[in-house]
Structure 1
Amino acid sequence: MSIYVGNLSYDVNQQDLSEVFAEYGTVKRVHVPTDRETGRVRGFAFVEMESEAEEDKAIETLDGAEWMDRQLKVNKARPREDNRNSGGRNNRF
Structure 2
Amino acid sequence: MSIYVGNLSYDVTEADLSSIFAEYGSVKRVQLPTDRETGRVRGFGFVEMSADAEETAAIEALDGAEWMGRDLKVNKAKPREERSSFGGGGRRSDSFSRNY
Structure 1 length-normalised TM: 0.92
Question: Could you tell me which amino acid in structure 1 is paired with residue 34 of structure 2?
Answer: T
In the aligned structure 2, how far is the partner of 1:9 from the partner of 1:90? Answer: 33
Structure 1 stretches of at least 4 aligned residues deviating more than 2 Å after TM superposition:
87-93
Cα distance, 1:47 vs structure 2: 0.0
2:72 pairs with 1:77: no
Structure label with greater radius of gyration: 2
In the aligned structure 1, how far is the partner of 2:69 from the partner of 2:88? Answer: 38
Does the C-alpha gap of structure 1 residues 40 and 89 become closer, same or farther in structure 2, counting only changes over 3 Å? farther
Question: Could you tell me which amino acid in structure 2 is paired with residue 36 of structure 1?
Answer: R
Question: Could you tell me which amino acid in structure 1 is paired with residue 79 of structure 2?
Answer: P
- State the match for 1:37 in structure 2: 37
Cα distance, 1:83 vs structure 2: 2.2
Question: Could you tell me which amino acid in structure 2 is paired with residue 77 of structure 1?
Answer: A
Query: How many corresponding residue pairs?
Result: 92
Cα shift readout 1:5-38 (whole Å, capped 9, x = no counterpart): 0000000010000000000000000000001111
2:38 pairs with 1:7: no
In the aligned structure 2, how far is the partner of 1:76 from the partner of 1:7? Answer: 15
Question: Could you tell me which amino acid in structure 1 is paired with residue 14 of structure 2?
Answer: Q
Gaps of at least 5 residues in structure 1 are none
**What SS class does the counterpart of residue 36 from structure 1 fall into?**
coil
Question: Could you tell me which amino acid in structure 1 is paired with residue 71 of structure 2?
Answer: Q
In the aligned structure 2, how far is the partner of 1:39 from the partner of 1:31? Answer: 14
Gaps of at least 5 residues in structure 2 are 96-100
In the aligned structure 2, how far is the partner of 1:55 from the partner of 1:19? Answer: 14
Structure 2 length-normalised TM: 0.86
